[in-house]
Structure 1
Amino acid sequence: MSFIDPYQHIIVEHHYSHKFTVVVLGATKVTKGAFGDMLDTPDPYVELFISSTPDSRKRTKHFNNDINPVWNETFEFILDPNQDNVLEITLMDANYVMDETLGTAIFPISSMKVGEKKEVPFTFNDVTEMILEMSLEVCSSPDLRFSMALCDQEKAFRQQRKENIKENMKKLLGPKNSEGLYSTRDVPVVAILGSGGGFRAMVGFSGVMKALYESGILDCATYIAGLSGSTWYMSTLYSHPDFPEKGPEEINEELMKSVSHNPLLLLTPQKIKRYVESLWKKKSSGQPVTFTDIFGMLIGETLIHNRMNTTLSSLKEKVNTGQCPLPLFTCLHVKPDVSELMFAENITAKHIVSNDSSDSDDESQEPKGTENEEAEREYQNDNQASWVQRMIMALVSDSALFNTREGRAGKVHNFMLGLNLNTSYPMSPLRNFTTQESLEEDELDAAVADPDEFEQIYEPLDVKRKKIHVVDSGLTFNLPYPLILRPQRGVDLIISFDFSARPSDSSPPFKELLLAEKWAKMNKLPFPKIDPYVFDREGLKECYVFKPKNPDVEKDCPTIIHFVLANINFRKYKAPGVPRETQEEKEIADFDIFDDPESPFSTFNFQYPNQAFKRLHDLTYFNTLNNINVSIFYNH
C-alpha cells in the first residue's frame, strides 16, 4: 500500500475478490408432484446459497398460485477466489406454516471464467426448468475502508462546520471577545455528550438540547455523541423533517405526547402482525433477527412511528453543509459465547412485562400511578395486557435463547469476514496501550477497579465468524467518551451530561466519569484528572469543571464541563435568577429523581405522563442554562 495510516492499530491485507452476479430469470412448469398439484397450486420462490460468502443466503419474492413465474431479480455475491465456491439453488413453495422444498441443484462457480456471462438452465423433478443468468468479474476497487484516520467526508464536514462556528461564535461572544477568531484554526472543537439511562436519559437530553439550542451553544458544537437513551433523543431530533429549522422546543412537545401512552398499547394484535411482517421481511432479505430487533421496533414505534424507515445515511442532509453538529451513535461489539447475563445482568423479565419500573428489585411491586388521565384510561381499558404479559413472560423467562448473547444482543453481518489482519504498532498513538494491571493503584478509584472492565478491549474482530454481536455501550461504561477522545478529532472542550442511575439523589455522581478517565489512561489519551473528593469538599452540584493541571504542558488535554442529574437550585428558581413565588410553582419543582419511592424516572420506565416529562425536561433545561456561560469559550 502506498498510503500509511499513522493512527492504524490493525492493518487489513488487501486481496482482490470476485463479484458473482446471478439473475433469476424465471421457471416453467413448477410442480409439487401429481398428488401435490391436485391439492394446491405452488407458490414458488428461489433461494440462493453460497456457504463461503459473507451474505451467504438470498431469496426471490414468491408468487401465489403461479407455475410459470418470471422473477427477473438480480443478486450479487462477493467471492474469495482462493476458496471452493459452490452455488446451491433451491426451488421452494411458500406456505403459511412451513415452506416446502421442491428441488435443489448445485453449480460449481469455478467452472466459470472471469469476464464470462451466460445463461444456465436447471431442471427439477424432471419437469420444472429454471433459467439463471450468471456473470463473474474481478472487483476493481475496495468496498471497505478500514482505518482509524477520519474519512474524507468527516474532514470535509469539519471544515464546513468550522466556518459556520466561527461566524456563530462571533455573534455569541460579541466583537470584543471574538477578536482572536481570525481563521478556522482559531475555532475550538466542542463536543456534547449524552449518557445512557433509558427514557430518563432521553427526556433529560431533550431539555438539555433545548437549552443549548436557545443559548447558541449548540451552534458552536462540532460533535454530539450519544449512548442508549440519549441516542434515542438524537434519532428523534435528527430524523425530524423540520429540524433544524424547527427547534427542540416544538419537537419536544411531540415527544412528550409520544411517551405518555402505556407501552402495552404497542402490543395489540394488529401491531404485532405488522411487527412480524417487518421482521420476516428483514429475515427474508438475509439479515439476522434477534430480540433486539423487537425491542428496537417498540422503541421506534413509540418515538418515530411515522419515520421508521429512516436510516443513518439519510441523516447526511442535516450535516452536509455543516449546518448541525455531527451526531455520533455508540454500540459495543461483544462475543456471543457467554451464557450468563453478564452484559445485561440487571434486566429481568419482570422489568419488561410488569407495572414495576424501578431500578431496584427491592422496590414495591404495586402498580405505579400516573398523572396522565388519558394514558391511565388506555391502560385500564387495554384488554390485551394480560395475554401480552403472559406471552412475553413465557418467551423471556424460560427461553435459553433470551438468556444468552446469541438471543439478546443485536446481530449484524461481519463486515470483516475473510479479511487478513496484521497488528501495527510502530506509528500508532495506541502503541503504548496500558493494561489495567500496569496502572498505578493510586491512579484508580475503588469504584472503577473491577478486574475485567476493559479486558481484551483491543482484540480484533474474529474474521471467521459470519455475524457479530453488538450491545448497548452503556454496559461497559455509560458515557460515550471513546468516540470523542479519538486523537484524530482533536476535541478541546467536552460538555457531558450524565443521566446514569445512582443509589440515591445524594450519592457521588462520578462513577461513569471515572471509568472514562481510566479508559483514557489505559489508552494513553489526554484526560484531565478527575478528583472524586470534590464531592466531599463541595457537596452535590449541578455542574463540575475539570481542567488540565498544566495547560502549557498538556496542550492536547480537553476541558470537561460535567453535568449531573440533580435537583438543587431548580426547587427555588423557575428560571436562572427568577425565584419561585406561588405554592404551585414550588410544589411542581419539589421532587426527587432517585429517592422517589414511586420511581417515575427509573431506567425501566417506558411511560412518562406529562407531569413527569415536564419535570425532568424543565429540570435539565434549567440546570443547563443556570451553569453554562459563553465564557467557556474565552480560553479556547
Structure 2
Amino acid sequence: MGLEQQEREKEKGLRNVGCASSHTRHGAPNGLIKNVFDIHSECAETILSSLLTIKVLQAKNIGSGDMVTHADCYVRLWIPSATDRIFVTKTVSNTDVPFWGETFEFKIYNRIKNILHLSLIDEDVITKDDHLYTIYFDVGKLPFEETIVKSFALNQEGNEELELEFRRTKISESPENIITNGVLVSRELSCLEVNIDKQKSAKVFKDNEELVLTVTASCTKKKTSTLSSDSTPVDNFLFHTVKNWDPELTATLDESKFPAVTIGRDDVDNGGHDNMLTLPLNLLPLGEKVNVALHTEMDKKLEFEVKVNDCPEHLDMRLGFDLCQEEKDYLQKRKVFVARALKAALGLSRDLQEHEVPVIAVSATGGGARAMTSLYGTLSGLRKMNLLDTVSYITGASGSTWCMSKLYEDADWSKTDLARPIEDARKHMVESKTSAFSWDRLKYYYNEMEERSKEGHPGSFTDLWGLVIESMFYDRRYEGTLSDQQQAVNQGQNPLPLYLAMNVKDVEKSTLEFKEWCEFSPYEVGLIKYGAFIRSQHFDSEFFMGRVMKPLKESRICYLQGLWSNVFSVNLLDAWFAATNSENFWSEWTREPLSEIDDDEMMLKKRPASLSTRVLASSGMLSDTLRGVLTNRPLAGENHNFLNGFQIHEKYHKTKAFSAWKDTELDLFPDQLTPSSDKLCLVDSAYYINASFPPLLREERKVDIILSFDYGLGDKFKSVEETCNYCNKQGIEFPKVSLKDEDKESPKECYVFAKPEDTNAPIVLHFPLVNDTFKQYKAPGLERTPEEMEDGNVPLCGKGSPYRLLNMTYDEPAFNKLVNLNEYNVMNSQDAILEAFRLVMDRKASVRT
C-alpha cells in the first residue's frame, strides 16, 4: 500500500490540532493562557533545599584599585539561583590583608546549577568603587555536613588570595516540584494580589501622593499607586514570585526616607509600624484575603487588601527538543504531496512507502532586495520543473524572508505558477521608494511606534525598519501575522516556512563571543539551544518562569520582517537623523547604497571545554570604553524574553541537545545566559553567517537534502563553507565542502556536497548566484539568438551593478533578468537534483532492509 492510500485510510483518525483560537482562559488570578501543546522531553522532578553557610575570612596581598592608597576592601556575595538579595561585608580600610570573619546564609536547591558570585571591591569615597576581582564558584561541588576552607587565587602569580569557609547542611522541609527539560528549570510560583481602595485613601492622603509597593523575588519588582480621587477608584496589582525564595512585600509612601520594619504574623490584621510596612508573604494564609494597614508619622493609616495564591503548575510554553505536534502532523500530511511529486519526477512505477519519502528543504541566504527577487526566481524554477511539491521546508534569513512572508499570504501559493506574486514584486521594485521616506510617512511611523509602545512592546529602531519595508513592498497597511501563515500549511499544501534570527548580548559581548539561534515558524518561536518554544502568537508577550504574565497582541508581520533583516537598519539610523535637516536625503539614500556587507569576514573563537571555578579581573576604564564602542548594537531588535526567570539545571552542560549548539564562553557561566535577561536582543543572522541552515540541522527534523541558494555577490561559497566550519566545531552532521581553485575562480550553477559514509549528514546542493551558461542559453538546452544576447547580460558585480545590497529599486529589465537568471540556474541543474533524490531514496531503502 502506497503512502497516499495509507493517508486516505487513516484520514478520519487524524487528530485535529487546536490553534490559537482554541486556547481558553485559566481561572487563576494571573490570567494565564492554558497550554494545549504536547510537552516533549519535559519531565517533573522534585528538588530539595539545603542551607549553605559561608564565612568570609580574609584576603591576602591585595593591591589598591587606585594605586595611591592601601585598599579599603569589602566582599559582595550573591547566588542568583537562590535569591535576588546581594550580601555585602563591612569595609576593612587601609590594609592589604583585610580580615572580615562575617557569616552569611543561603538556601540553595539541588537539581539547579548554583553559582556563587564572589566579588572583591575597593571602596572609594569620592569616585566609583573599584571592582578588583569576581570569582564564580559552583557550590554544588561542596559535600554535605563538612566544613571546608577554600583559598581562591585571585591572580596568575597566586600571591593575591581570598579565603572563605563553607558548610552545607540538609534542611527538613517539603520538597518542591519543578518542570525541566534537562537545561531549563521552572520553579513553583506564588501570586500576590494587592487591592487598594483609592476612594478611601483620598479622604486621608493628599492628591497625587504615591504608595510604592515592592516585592522581592518577583518578576515585577515595583508598582506605584497614585492616591488621587480623580484617578481609577481601585488599583489592582499582581506580583508573581518564586514561592520558596521567602518573598516579602514592602509598602511605603517614601521609599528612600525610612528603613524597612518587618512585622510578625500577629501584626498583619492590626496594621504595622509607622512609615513602612514589610510583610513576609509566607506568613499569609493561602487563598484568603487579609487586610493590612500602613501607619505613617502623621498618624494616618492606609488600609489595603492582600491575598496569596499558588500559580498553576502548567506552562504556557513547550520545553523539549522534539518537534511540536503541529509540525509532526504537518510533515505527515506533506509526505503525501512529496511522494506524489517524487513518483512523477523520477518516473517511478509504484507508490512510495512512508519510510522512503525524504525530507527536502530549500535554504536561502539574505541579501536585501536581491535575495527577495532571486528567491522568487528560484521557487518559480522549481515550480516549472514540478519539484516544488518535493520540498517540505523553506528557510530564509534577512532579505529572503521578505519573499517568503509575502508568498504565505496565499494559502495555496505553490499550487500555481508564480506569475502573479512575481508581478506584484516587480511592481514594487520598480517604483521609487522616496514616498516611503516622506514626512507624512515619517509621522505615520512615529505614531505607529508610539501606539506599539503603549500596547507594551519594548520597541526599537528595528520597528521603524519594519514599517519602511511595509511601505516599500505593500500597497496598504498589512494586518497579517506569523500565526496567520498556519492557514497555508495546515493541510500540508505548501512547504513549511522557517525564519531565522540570532539572539546576542546587547552591549557587553560581540557576536563572536555570544550568539544563539532563534527560529520562527507559523506554529512556534523558539531558542534552539535551550529547547524552549512558545506559540508564534505569544512572541513578545511577557513571560516569567514559563508562564504568560502579560499577553500582548501579536505583532504584524512587518515588525518581524524588520527584525529578520535589521542589518539594513544600520544605515537607516543615519538617514533618520539626517532627515531632520534635509528631506532630499531620503531620495539620495534610496538611490545610492552606503556600504556593502556581503564580504564581511567572521572567525569563530575557541571556547573552553569544561566548567570550572573562574576569576574575572577588572579590565580597566580604557578597555571597557573601547569594548562598548565595538560591541554596542543600538539597532538590535528588543523583545520581551520568553525565557525570563527560568533557572538552569545542574546538568545542563551535559545535555546533548544543548551541547550541540554551544556558541559561547558564557555557556560556562549559567547565570549570564539568556534566562537571566529581561529582553531578547535579536539581530539579522547576516551579522554572523549569511545563511539559514541552523533550523534544518536540528536532528529532530531529519532533513535529507538541502537545496542551498546563496544570493551573495562576493565569495560564492562563503555561506556553505562557514556553515561547514561551524558544524565541525559544534559536532553537527554536515558534509565536507571541498572545492578546487577553478571552482572559486569560475563557479558553476550547482555543486553537490555529500558524505557517502555518513547517512545522517544531509546532501547539500549549493547554488551560487552566477551568470554562467545563462549568457548563451535562455532556457536549458535552448540557445539565445543574437537579438536575445542582451537578455543574458546580468551585471551582478561592478560599480554599475543595480544589485548591490542597499539598492531597493531596480528598473524592470534588471528585475526580470535577476528572476530569469535564478529560474534558469535551478532548472539547468535538474539532473543533479534528481540524482540527489535517487541517492537519498537508495539510502533509505538500504537502511530499511
TM-score (norm 1): 0.71
The residue aligned with 1:202 is 372
Distance verdict in 2 for CA 1:309–1:598, change over 3 Å: same
The residue aligned with 2:242 is 80
State the shift of 1:196 in Å.
0.9
Q: Is the 8 A contact 2:212 2:222 kept in 1?
A: yes
Please tell me the residue identity of whatever aligns with 2:774: F
Q: Is the 8 A contact 1:18 1:139 kept in 2?
A: no
The residue aligned with 2:769 is 565
State the shift of 1:466 in Å.
1.0
State the shift of 1:143 in Å.
2.0
The residue aligned with 2:707 is 495
Please tell me the residue identity of whatever aligns with 2:333: Q
Q: Is the 8 A contact 1:55 1:77 kept in 2?
A: yes
Higher mean C-alpha displacement, 274-283 vs 469-478: 274-283
Higher mean C-alpha displacement, 194-203 vs 141-150: 141-150
State the shift of 1:225 in Å.
0.8
- 1:635 counterpart SS class: helix
Q: Does 1:428 align with 2:656?
A: yes
Distance in 2, matches of 1:469 and 1:146, equals 21
State the shift of 1:471 in Å.
0.6
Correspondences of 1:312-391 after superposition (within 5 Å): 312-338=482-508, 348=571, 352=575, 354=589, 355-357=591-593, 359-360=595-596
- 2:681 counterpart SS class: strand
Distance verdict in 2 for CA 1:482–1:48, change over 3 Å: farther
The residue aligned with 1:524 is 731
Distance verdict in 2 for CA 1:345–1:494, change over 3 Å: closer
State the shift of 1:4 in Å.
6.7
- 1:273 counterpart SS class: helix
The residue aligned with 2:760 is 556
Q: Is the 8 A contact 1:54 1:413 kept in 2?
A: no
C-alpha deviations, 1:543-589, integer Å up to 9, x for none?
Answer: 111122xx2x3111211111010112222222222222252x32232
Distance in 2, matches of 1:210 and 1:25, equals 64
Distance in 2, matches of 1:532 and 1:577, equals 27
- 1:115 counterpart SS class: coil
Please tell me the residue identity of whatever aligns with 2:187: H
Distance in 2, matches of 1:521 and 1:610, equals 43
- 1:408 counterpart SS class: coil
User: How many matched pairs?
Assistant: 538
Higher mean C-alpha displacement, 585-594 vs 51-60: 51-60
Please tell me the residue identity of whatever aligns with 2:694: P
Q: Is the 8 A contact 1:275 1:297 kept in 2?
A: yes
Q: Which has the higher contact order (CA 8 A, sep 6+)?
A: 1
Q: Does 1:467 align with 2:640?
A: no
- 2:707 counterpart SS class: strand
Distance verdict in 2 for CA 1:335–1:115, change over 3 Å: same
State the shift of 1:50 in Å.
7.1
Q: Does 1:414 align with 2:641?
A: yes
The residue aligned with 1:158 is 331
Distance verdict in 2 for CA 1:470–1:538, change over 3 Å: closer
Distance in 1, matches of 2:360 and 2:761, equals 13
State the shift of 1:592 in Å.
1.6
Please tell me the residue identity of whatever aligns with 2:366: G
C-alpha deviations, 1:211-233, integer Å up to 9, x for none?
Answer: 22232222111111111111111
The residue aligned with 2:795 is 592
Distance verdict in 2 for CA 1:321–1:89, change over 3 Å: farther
Higher mean C-alpha displacement, 113-122 vs 229-238: 113-122
Q: Does 1:481 align with 2:686?
A: no
Please tell me the residue identity of whatever aligns with 2:767: F
Distance in 1, matches of 2:192 and 2:317, equals 18
The residue aligned with 1:512 is 719
* 1:230 paired residue among 367, 391, 400: 400
* 1:308 paired residue among 478, 483, 492: 478
The residue aligned with 1:614 is 816
Distance verdict in 2 for CA 1:222–1:266, change over 3 Å: same
State the shift of 1:150 in Å.
1.7
Q: Is the 8 A contact 2:363 2:394 kept in 1?
A: yes
Higher mean C-alpha displacement, 567-576 vs 491-500: 567-576
Q: Is the 8 A contact 2:193 2:307 kept in 1?
A: yes
- 2:382 counterpart SS class: helix
Q: Is the 8 A contact 1:188 1:491 kept in 2?
A: yes
State the shift of 1:532 in Å.
2.3
Greater C-alpha Rg: 2
Specify every segment of 5 or more residues in structure 1 that has no aligned partner in the other structure, as ranges: 37-41, 61-65, 91-104, 124-128, 362-399, 435-453, 503-507
Distance verdict in 2 for CA 1:301–1:132, change over 3 Å: farther
Q: Is the 8 A contact 1:30 1:67 kept in 2?
A: no
- 1:560 counterpart SS class: strand
Correspondences of 1:190-269 after superposition (within 5 Å): 190-240=360-410, 243-244=413-414, 247-269=417-439
- 1:330 counterpart SS class: strand
- 1:415 counterpart SS class: coil
- 2:395 counterpart SS class: strand
Distance in 1, matches of 2:291 and 2:475, equals 44
% identity of equivalent residues: 26
Distance verdict in 2 for CA 1:499–1:67, change over 3 Å: same
Higher mean C-alpha displacement, 458-467 vs 203-212: 458-467
The residue aligned with 2:190 is 18
- 2:839 counterpart SS class: coil
Q: Is the 8 A contact 1:114 1:138 kept in 2?
A: no
State the shift of 1:147 in Å.
2.3
Distance verdict in 2 for CA 1:455–1:108, change over 3 Å: same
C-alpha deviations, 1:476-501, integer Å up to 9, x for none?
Answer: 11111121111111111110100123
Q: Is the 8 A contact 2:794 2:818 kept in 1?
A: no
C-alpha deviations, 1:435-479, integer Å up to 9, x for none?
Answer: xxxxxxxxxxxxxxxxxxx55485663322211211111111111
Distance verdict in 2 for CA 1:325–1:349, change over 3 Å: closer
- 2:436 counterpart SS class: helix
C-alpha deviations, 1:1-45, integer Å up to 9, x for none?
Answer: 99579xx995122312235678999979999x99x9xxxxx9xxx
Q: Does 1:172 align with 2:345?
A: yes
Please tell me the residue identity of whatever aligns with 2:354: T
Q: Is the 8 A contact 1:59 1:284 kept in 2?
A: no
- 1:463 counterpart SS class: helix
- Name whichever structure is richer in strand by fraction: 2
Q: Is the 8 A contact 1:236 1:304 kept in 2?
A: no
* 1:574 paired residue among 775, 778, 787: 778
Q: Is the 8 A contact 2:183 2:655 kept in 1?
A: no
Specify every segment of 5 or more residues in structure 2 that has no aligned partner in the other structure, as ranges: 1-38, 44-179, 254-275, 296-301, 516-566, 576-585, 598-626, 841-849
Distance verdict in 2 for CA 1:358–1:498, change over 3 Å: farther
Cα root mean square deviation, aligned: 4.6
Please tell me the residue identity of whatever aligns with 2:721: L
State the shift of 1:186 in Å.
0.8
Distance in 2, matches of 1:296 and 1:565, equals 26
Distance in 2, matches of 1:150 and 1:424, equals 20
Please tell me the residue identity of whatever aligns with 1:598: G
The residue aligned with 1:142 is 315
Distance in 2, matches of 1:24 and 1:281, equals 28
TM-score (norm 2): 0.55
Distance in 2, matches of 1:490 and 1:248, equals 29
